[in-house]
Amino acid sequence: MKTIIGLLLTFSFFASSIAQELTLVKNRKSNFTIIIPEQPTVEEIQGAKVLQHYLYKISGAKLPVKQDRGLPGNNEILVGKVSRPETAKLPYDQMGKDGLYIGNNGKQLILTGGPKKGVEYAVYTFLEQYLGCKKYTSTFEVIPEKKQSKYRQ
């Protein structure tokens, strides 16, 4: 396991043309929880597990995964079609089976998508494009160590 001291993962996103910044992990600790729907699909469960696994490999922080209980909160990573006003507004009907959505509102990171592989694609896209993770084969991957990561959409 990599020992990363002083790790700061900062992800910046745009929401309604206003830059929003979320610090998901700092000094190997996180206040964030990964939220999946109350009755998650196989793809939503897999997406949450993959996200949890790679965030741990990058930072040493293991974020808890919890099922949605309908009580919105701050410091959440919403994976899949959870019951939140933020995800209810998304155009799921236009995403198709495999479309994806990555965004935030200043309190929550949203990784969701179409009913087939869309959620998993959102997670993998986030890991690859915004965290710099690369998986070349089943036995060869690159997991970067970062002191600070910023993303602007």
Per-residue pLDDT tens over the stretch 69-79: 878 888 999 99
pTM of the model: 0.83
Cα-Cα-Cα-Cα dihedral sign, residues 87, 88, 91, 94: positive
Q: What 3-state DSSP class applies to 9? A: strand
Mode of pairing for the β-strands spanning 65-67 and 76-79: unpaired
**Confidence bin at 37 (pLDDT 50/70/90):** very high
Residue ranges and CATH numbers for the domains of the chain are 30-142 (3.30.379.10)
Burial class of residue 2 in the structure, from the number of CB atoms within 10 Å of its CB (0-12 exposed, 13-18 middle, 19+ buried):
exposed
